[in-house]
Amino acid sequence: MSGENYHRIGSLLPNPGEQPKFSQLYIYDTENEVTNKIFIARMDKNSNPLHTEIVSDIKEMLDSHNPYVQTYRMLQDRLKESNACNLKLRIIGKRGKDGRRYNLPITSEVASLVVGDFDVGNGEKDIILETQQGYLQQIFVVSYAYLPLHYPLMFPRGEDGYSDDIPLNEATIDTSKKREKVSMREFFAHQVILLYSKRLFQQFFVDAYSMIESAKLNYVKTHQKQLRSEIYKGLKI
């Protein structure tokens, strides 16, 4: 892998003449949702054939338990009721409460629907999706929403991803150090126990590695004054 790994998300509905994909499948042409998902998967010639029954069971499971999927379903109902062309979805990237490790998020905590214009600067890491915006926007990897949105099969109940405000357990805090939050490396060290994901886990692991390395480089970039690297002398590799 070389270069930077980007994480992006598109509009709520496909542009005219385009096939729905990714999260658009939860809103557009839901009568044929299972068929559309299988069609998208078949576009990859290296993928194995999918069983309709299994895809349907996974769909029902996510509908019942995943707060992000439930939000998209709610959005679908609103679009049908009012045909609102100026409807936006705000996926909440940072909450007022401390990051919780055991309680599952509920729908009202992960997203909100907004009609009309609003101040997009209210949420530091929020993702604002419009009905048809014609471009992709980048997702903050330190947002609670990134991992459950990108890997719904690995986080089927919408479990929180990494955020930089998860507090360390008091019993594990070294009082000689100032750090009180869980690092990205510590978070993913806990997540590597995920089982039965096969090649999807390999992608997850590479993604985690690139996120950790990017965070390290960003720290060096944004802490030049504290590091004072220009005065280092006598360093050996």
Taking only the tens place, the pLDDT of each residue in 18-53 is 777 677 776 776 777 788 777 777 766 666 778 889
What's the CA gap between 141 and 210, in Å, rounded? 10
What's the CA gap between 177 and 202, in Å, rounded? 34
Q: Where are the alpha helices (DSSP H) in 84-237?
A: 107-110, 146-150, 184-191, 199-222, 224-227
Taking only the tens place, the pLDDT of each residue in 79-117 is 766 665 566 667 666 655 544 444 555 555 555 444 444
What's the CA gap between 201 and 204, in Å, rounded? 5
Bridge partners (DSSP) of residue 49 are: none
Q: String of b and e for 66-84 (b: at least 16 CB within 10 Å)?
A: bbbbbbbbebeebbeeeee
AA identity, residue 29: D
pLDDT for the residue numbered 105: 58
pLDDT for the residue numbered 116: 45
pLDDT for the residue numbered 45: 64
| Structure token pair of residue 118 | 């609003």
Taking only the tens place, the pLDDT of each residue in 185-217 is 999 988 887 777 888 888 888 888 888 888 888
Nearest CA among 64, 61, 65 for reference residue 157: 65
Contact 102, 155 (CB under 8 A): no
pLDDT band at 119 (very low <50, low <70, confident <90, very high): very low
| Structure token pair of residue 93 | 């990237």
| Structure token pair of residue 55 | 């895809």
Give the three-state DSSP class for 69: helix
What's the CA gap between 152 and 121, in Å, rounded? 27
